Chain A
Amino acid sequence: MDMSFEKQTHILNACLQAGRILIENGSEMARVIDTMQRIAYNAGVVNAQMFVTVTGIVISIDNHPNAQVASIEHRSIDLDKVARVNQLSRQFAQQEIDLPELVRLLDRIDNDTPTFSFLVRFLAAAMLSAVLLIIFTHEYVDAPAGFVIGGIGFAIFYFFNHKFQVQFLSEFFSSFVIGILALVAVKLGLGVHFDNIIIGSIMPLVPGVPITNAVRDLVSGNLISGPARAFEALISAVAIAGGIVVVLNFI
């Protein structure tokens, strides 16, 4: 197959860009590989080899001497970006857009996908805490305290994560603050059950995406990413538990 060196490089870059966005925003590995494979195929490369892990991608195509690498330094969760890349790959498959357009749109997805404002996320986290508190414990008295403390805990997590980019530290610190606040609330008579307030308030911090992805990666046979994600979820859980344990020692 004759294809200019330049075009091959463009294809490689488009694949890498798509894969990087997907992994950075919490997609499972089967989808990443599938999307990259499809982009390469629809761009005219029949045989593309790729090796994808949670921290980096390697891809090579036939008749092209260089394999390309993209490293993934930080991961966050933004499922809207995953959905948009998915949509874009579909459009590319139906030839609604061409390769340069694809690269341009991928850039746009990476940089300005709208997210919910902080206030909306804050309220959602607060609401989630209150609702799950009721679901898990079948008691209503602590719901207001759970609402406030859950929201504050999530806000602290959010700001620490943006400032320092160390997820486990933010989790530890915010669960520590949640514990302190729950203790204060019970002492001041604003809440009744210390345990229930904490159970509700830490729920917005639960690493739902790594857990789910760990299972899906393991099922699809990806023995590198599956355990890596399970470990990520485990460290998150330990960080959250650690923050609470520190507070429990004060009781």
Chain B
Amino acid sequence: MILDNMIFQLIMAYVATICFGIIMNIPHQAFNVAGLIGAGSWGVYLALSHLGVGIAFGNLVAAFLISVASLYAAKYKKMPMMIFNIPSLVSFVPGGQSYQMVRNFAIGHTQTAWSFCVQVIVIAGALAMGFVLGEMYHRFSTYFRTEVIKKM
């Protein structure tokens, strides 16, 4: 049952990534790879949350994976990295929480609204942090590659 649900969710994430890609008008050669990155990172996120990892760390790991996978996809396809990482991120946008925050502010439940606001900030911050770590990985890997080449 959990596995069924998991596979279904992966397909959903794949479709969502490609649909967002169409809206952003990414080249159609990139659809499949972007979709796979989106689905894969969503799968990792789901697996982590099944293991009981909190939303912050789960999102951070997912964003890091998206960043690193996009980097290699960009090298492999010879396309800019953003073509892969922007659509892949769409399933992680804290849409539900943002909406609940706005709604609770609007109807005057300020206390609840603040708690959703904190969730939104935590998720957005974790995603940003994941991207920063991905960028760091990129810098480190180029550094090591150039160093190794220099020594040889």
Contacts and interface: CB of A to CB of B under 8 A. Distances in A.
Interface string A24-43: 00111001000000000000
Contact of B23 (A90, A134, A154): A154
Interface residues of A, number: 50
B80 A203 contact: no
Interface stretch (A64-72, A95-103, A118-126): A118-126
Interface string B26-64: 110010000000000010000000000000000000000
A136 B79 contact: no
Given A128-B16, A203-B93, A245-B106, A120 B86 contact: no
Contacts of B86: 79, 208-209, 212
Nearest to A90: B78
Q: Is the interface of A mostly helix, strand, loop or mixed?
A: helix
Interface in A34-83: 77-80, 82-83
B16 A132 contact: yes
Contacts of A80: 25-27
B13 to A, nearest CB: 7
B129 to A, nearest CB: 9
In this complex, the member of A79, A120, A220, A241 whose beta carbon has the largest number of chain B beta carbons within 10 angstroms is: A79
Nearest to A127: B19
A91 B99 CA distance: 46
B122 interface: no
B22 A83 contact: no
B24 A128 contact: no
Contacts of A244: 99, 102-103, 106
B89 A212 contact: yes
28 contacts: A31-B80, A31-B82, A77-B25, A79-B83, A80-B27, A82-B82, A83-B26, A83-B30, A83-B79, A87-B79, A124-B22, A124-B23, A125-B23, A127-B19, A128-B23, A131-B12, A131-B16, A135-B12, A135-B42, A136-B96, A199-B99, A203-B95, A206-B90, A206-B95, A208-B90, A215-B128, A215-B132, A245-B105
Interface of B: 9, 12-13, 15-16, 18-20, 22-27, 30, 42, 78-80, 82-83, 85-87, 89-91, 93, 95-96, 98-100, 102-103, 105-107, 124, 128, 131-132, 135
Given A87-B78, A128-B90, A154-B23, 10 more contacts: A26-B82, A77-B24, A83-B83, A120-B22, A124-B23, A202-B99, A203-B93, A208-B89, A216-B131, A244-B106
